[in-house]
Chains A and B, each alone.
Chain A
Amino acid sequence: MDQIINDLSHHIRLNKGFFLWMGFLALAFLACLYAYVQQLRYGLGVAGIRDYISWGLYISNFVFFVASSLIGMLISAVLGLIGLKWVQPITRIAETIAVAFAAVAGLVIVMDMGRPERLAYVFLYARFQSPILWDVTVITTYFVISLLLLFLPMIPDMAVLYKRFGNLPGWLKPVYKVLSLNWTDHPEQNRIIHRSMYILLILIIPAALSIHTVTSWLFALTVRPGWDSTIFGPYFVSGAFVAGSAAVIIAMFFFRKNYKLQDYLTDLHFNNMGKVLVLVAFVYLYFNINEYLVPGYKLKRADAIHLRELMSGHFAITFWLVQVGGLLIPIALMLFRKMRRPLPLTLISVVVLIAAWFKRYLIVVPTLAHPFLPIQHVPDNFRVYTPTLTEIAITLLSFILVLIIITLISKFFPVIPVVETAKEKGLDPLKSNES
């Protein structure tokens, strides 16, 4: 038992590497924060977006963040409820990613607002008919459920570590004590946690489907070519699973390496996650074919312009890199067992994740670049969208925030559930030296 505790918790300390990494993040954060202050002072004009192409990096990034956060639901709820035992060590990683991305997604949308100080109006004057109200509602809900899904299984862990992990930093002890809610492995307590988890795992499925479906509706509820699609909901959800699975694989790789968890995050886990990624990527591919072939066959005027711009026009290079390099080739590679080993799978996941980001860009920007009526008598930067440095910095700001949240959660709490792992092996977490 001590072995497990030590293995899974030894990284919970303030070491030099952590300070270096956090220092770097903090500096980068401040630099990018300056960019946002500029935007607050001078308006959204510091970004490259203008009339016509009025949504750009920020909204693409928002969609990407919502997408990435969706994985928490897939791993914990779907795979967990089916009863797949191997996902158990990954659940907390998935939930951490879900919480981090969902929290920051809310901030990303504020970054895109022309009048962020009026954020409260969204609740004060909320219109039931606006998808933005639905989106704000479901993202908040999903965030809270994910936070609970992250927190509940951690209660026993914190109680155990508080009592039995000698190296727990002193300043963390009171935090652990409060958050462990007097857990003593009492059957009644376990029953409450178990029942709550069960309800949450069921609740999170509609909540998760909603956040990404509603996010897709921000586009699909308009009449514009490229957005005016009935399959946008499932198209986005399947795409989200691809992005999220890739993110989880990358996180698994880093935790395994940095926190020395090779015994707990084994090649089997990577292999299985690789299989999950291939499966969701196939589903996504299927929706992609639907999304492009159906309008491409009929070539209605506006659709034809849109598809031409994507496939052979201004956005062609990005489009084919994303579709072939970021979807088709990864699928083909991951069919081989060799490619599902940790390192190659992680590299593939990095490519998939980057492609997933650009895919969101390709969903948001090209449609706006080609409205129904011609763009005339405006400056050139109204016609062609070029993100500015400030805009890129603000976008990076959101990524830095995600990294900070993931780092803090994973650094100060066990990445892999301690008590669950112990109970899996038939050990009593509160008593020592039974094995």
Chain B
Amino acid sequence: MDENTVNNRDEQDPSKSSRRNFLKNIGLLGAGVAAGAGALYSGDIFEKKKAATGESKVLLTQDNKLVEVDSLELKALAKNPTKLMLEKGREGIEGRRWVMVIDLSKCRNARRCIAACQEAHQLKPEQYHLNTLQMQDSPGTAPYHMPKNCQHCDNPPCVAVCPVDATYKRGDGIVLIDNERCIGCRFCMAACPYSARIFHWTSPKDSDKHNGEAYNVELNVPQKLGTISKCLFSADRCREGKLPYCVSACPNGVYYFGDENEDAVTNGTTKETVRLSKLLRDNGAYQLMPELGTKPRVYYLPPKNRLFPFEPATDESPKEG
């Protein structure tokens, strides 16, 4: 209950939500429960190894799960959960450089990746963090299906133009959006050559239901009216050591995801882990519009030796909801 009060206050007064003092004060309110959610969020599998004091508390989290939290951690995290997640979300996962490889020869436009993505990020059917496009590079070449998401560029034109640091690039390569900061100018949309960004023109999906929930910047949920959203490389899942939603949902082995520093990517369907450099070299990998100098973190493997005939996408465009 306490948690809702915390968040509602935050919701009603967005201009204040960023002020430290204000947050320090309300942080005391409902500290227990808020901290519980925070602790769960921080769910740092790596840090959990710390020795416990033996004293622990059972708390009810945001998603109605009972969790046991060590009482030492309680004090450390007695803060507003949104704020906590925002702080954490600004730092990447140390030592990592996420990279995605999309094997076009396997994509059959099953669109499961899209469904999983829209489910996780609370998106309407016409809102895509990830969209599978039917491509044909020139009249003489073969058509193919191409999943297209945010390329998480190392020279991101969208981040460069943001006036308020609402969209930012982290040390681990992920380009994120802070929708508690976004002013909705949509300059980033204009700047992105990959059309990767979407905007909440109308109330986001189920916004009534999610109203008052703590904002998780690594999942960009709950989505907010008048702000930008886009693919996040499932930053929340990366933190937990799990593959992104789209990657694990693919039935056809299209996606590989991993860490460039480890020179390894894992296929979301077969769970097979392979060497990134070898995969790219053996398959003649390329990037989307590298001539623009954006330095994408997504690689594509060309659609050669396909095991199935090309089936054109049935263009069932969703209605605006």
A interface, CB within 8 angstroms of B: 42-45, 47, 49-52, 54-55, 109, 112-122, 124-127, 129-133, 136, 218-219, 221-224, 368, 371-382
Are A127 and B292 in contact, CB atoms less than 8 angstroms apart? Answer: no
Instruction: Kindly supply a per-residue 1/0 record for chain B positions 111-122, scoring 1 wherever the CB is within 8 Å of any chain A CB and 0 otherwise.
Output: 000000000000
Is B202 part of the contact surface with A, judged by Cβ < 8 Å? Answer: yes
- Docked Cα-Cα span, A126 to B181, in Å, equals 12
Q: Which residues on the B side are within 8 Å of A49 (C-beta)? A: 201
Are B185 and A375 in contact, CB atoms less than 8 angstroms apart? Answer: no
Given A113-B185, A117-B14; A122-B163 close (CB under 8 Å): yes
Number of A-B contacts (CB under 8 A): 163
- Docked Cα-Cα span, A375 to B126, in Å, equals 12
Given A132-B161, A375-B195; A115-B182 close (CB under 8 Å): yes
Are A118 and B131 in contact, CB atoms less than 8 angstroms apart? Answer: no
For B131, the closest partner residue in chain A by CB is: A377
- Docked Cα-Cα span, A406 to B119, in Å, equals 52
Are A118 and B201 in contact, CB atoms less than 8 angstroms apart? Answer: no
Is B203 part of the contact surface with A, judged by Cβ < 8 Å? Answer: yes
Question: A373: which of B148, B186, B197 is its contact (CB, 8 Å)?
Answer: B148
Given A122-B164, A130-B162; A376-B131 close (CB under 8 Å): yes
Q: Which residues on the B side are within 8 Å of A47 (C-beta)? A: 201
Are A130 and B183 in contact, CB atoms less than 8 angstroms apart? Answer: no
Is B225 part of the contact surface with A, judged by Cβ < 8 Å? Answer: yes
Are A378 and B184 in contact, CB atoms less than 8 angstroms apart? Answer: no
Ordered by A's residue number, 12 sampled pairs between the chains whose C-beta atoms are within 8 Å are A43-B201, A113-B226, A114-B200, A117-B15, A118-B164, A124-B164, A127-B163, A224-B193, A373-B288, A374-B135, A377-B317, A378-B317
Are A379 and B201 in contact, CB atoms less than 8 angstroms apart? Answer: no
Q: Which residues on the A side are within 8 Å of B199 (C-beta)? A: 44, 50-51, 54, 114
Is B66 part of the contact surface with A, judged by Cβ < 8 Å? Answer: no
Q: Which residues on the A side are within 8 Å of B191 (C-beta)? A: 221-223
With A43-B202, A132-B185, A379-B319 already in contact, 9 other A-B pairs whose C-beta atoms are closer than 8 Å? A51-B198, A119-B183, A124-B164, A223-B157, A224-B190, A368-B190, A376-B134, A377-B132, A381-B320
Are A373 and B227 in contact, CB atoms less than 8 angstroms apart? Answer: no
Q: Which residues on the A side are within 8 Å of B292 (C-beta)? A: 223
- Docked Cα-Cα span, A268 to B18, in Å, equals 59
A49 CB to closest chain B CB (Å) equals: 7
- Docked Cα-Cα span, A377 to B182, in Å, equals 26
Are B227 and A114 in contact, CB atoms less than 8 angstroms apart? Answer: yes
Q: Which residues on the B side are within 8 Å of A130 (C-beta)? A: 160-164, 187
Are B186 and A132 in contact, CB atoms less than 8 angstroms apart? Answer: no
A417 CB to closest chain B CB (Å) equals: 39
Q: Which residues on the A side are within 8 Å of B201 (C-beta)? A: 43-45, 47, 49-51
Q: Most chain-B CB neighbours within 10 Å: which of A54, A117, A218, A219?
A: A54
Are A42 and B202 in contact, CB atoms less than 8 angstroms apart? Answer: yes
Are A121 and B183 in contact, CB atoms less than 8 angstroms apart? Answer: yes
Instruction: Give me the 8 closest cross-chain CB pairs, A-B, nearest first.
Output: A114-B184, A114-B226, A45-B202, A45-B201, A132-B163, A130-B163, A125-B164, A115-B184
A391 CB to closest chain B CB (Å) equals: 12
Instruction: Kindly supply a per-residue 1/0 record for chain B positions 168-201, scoring 1 wherever the CB is within 8 Å of any chain A CB and 0 otherwise.
Output: 0000000000000111111101110111011111
Is B133 part of the contact surface with A, judged by Cβ < 8 Å? Answer: yes
- Docked Cα-Cα span, A120 to B163, in Å, equals 11
Q: Which residues on the B side are within 8 Å of A122 (C-beta)? A: 163-164, 183
Q: Which residues on the B side are within 8 Å of A115 (C-beta)? A: 182-184, 226-227
Is B318 part of the contact surface with A, judged by Cβ < 8 Å? Answer: yes
- Docked Cα-Cα span, A219 to B201, in Å, equals 22
Given A51-B199, A221-B161; A121-B181 close (CB under 8 Å): yes
Is B274 part of the contact surface with A, judged by Cβ < 8 Å? Answer: no
- Docked Cα-Cα span, A52 to B317, in Å, equals 15
B197 CB to closest chain A CB (Å) equals: 8
Q: Count the B residues whose beta carbon is within 8 Å of the partner chain — how many?
A: 53
Instruction: Kindly supply a per-residue 1/0 record for chain B positions 139-169, scoring 1 wherever the CB is within 8 Å of any chain A CB and 0 otherwise.
Output: 0000000001000000001001111111000
Q: Which residues on the B side are within 8 Å of A109 (C-beta)? A: 185
Is B300 part of the contact surface with A, judged by Cβ < 8 Å? Answer: no
Q: Which residues on the A side are within 8 Å of B181 (C-beta)? A: 118, 121, 125
Given A114-B226, A372-B289, A381-B320; A125-B165 close (CB under 8 Å): yes
Given A125-B164, A222-B157; A376-B190 close (CB under 8 Å): no
- Docked Cα-Cα span, A118 to B179, in Å, equals 11
A308 CB to closest chain B CB (Å) equals: 16
Q: Which residues on the A side are within 8 Å of B166 (C-beta)? A: 121, 125
Are B133 and A376 in contact, CB atoms less than 8 angstroms apart? Answer: yes
Are B189 and A131 in contact, CB atoms less than 8 angstroms apart? Answer: no
Is B315 part of the contact surface with A, judged by Cβ < 8 Å? Answer: yes
For B225, the closest partner residue in chain A by CB is: A43
- Docked Cα-Cα span, A114 to B232, in Å, equals 21
Q: Which residues on the A side are within 8 Å of B313 (C-beta)? A: 376-377
- Docked Cα-Cα span, A55 to B190, in Å, equals 8
Is B128 part of the contact surface with A, judged by Cβ < 8 Å? Answer: yes
For B321, the closest partner residue in chain A by CB is: A379
Are B165 and A127 in contact, CB atoms less than 8 angstroms apart? Answer: yes
Q: Which residues on the A side are within 8 Å of B161 (C-beta)? A: 129-132, 221-222
- Docked Cα-Cα span, A168 to B225, in Å, equals 51
A61 CB to closest chain B CB (Å) equals: 15
Given A43-B226, A125-B165, A372-B195; A114-B186 close (CB under 8 Å): yes
Given A54-B189, A379-B319; A44-B160 close (CB under 8 Å): no
- Docked Cα-Cα span, A326 to B168, in Å, equals 43
Q: Which residues on the B side are within 8 Å of A224 (C-beta)? A: 190, 193
Q: Which residues on the A side are within 8 Å of B186 (C-beta)? A: 54-55, 112, 114
B148 CB to closest chain A CB (Å) equals: 6
B164 CB to closest chain A CB (Å) equals: 4
- Docked Cα-Cα span, A52 to B164, in Å, equals 22
A385 CB to closest chain B CB (Å) equals: 13
Q: Which residues on the B side are within 8 Å of A136 (C-beta)? A: 163
- Docked Cα-Cα span, A25 to B165, in Å, equals 39
Q: Which residues on the A side are within 8 Å of B15 (C-beta)? A: 117-118, 120
- Docked Cα-Cα span, A71 to B29, in Å, equals 57
Are B164 and A377 in contact, CB atoms less than 8 angstroms apart? Answer: no
A349 CB to closest chain B CB (Å) equals: 32
- Docked Cα-Cα span, A218 to B189, in Å, equals 12
- Docked Cα-Cα span, A166 to B194, in Å, equals 67
For B148, the closest partner residue in chain A by CB is: A373
Q: Which residues on the A side are within 8 Å of B184 (C-beta)? A: 44, 113-115, 118
- Docked Cα-Cα span, A126 to B165, in Å, equals 8
Q: Which residues on the A side are within 8 Å of B320 (C-beta)? A: 379, 381-382
Are B198 and A114 in contact, CB atoms less than 8 angstroms apart? Answer: no
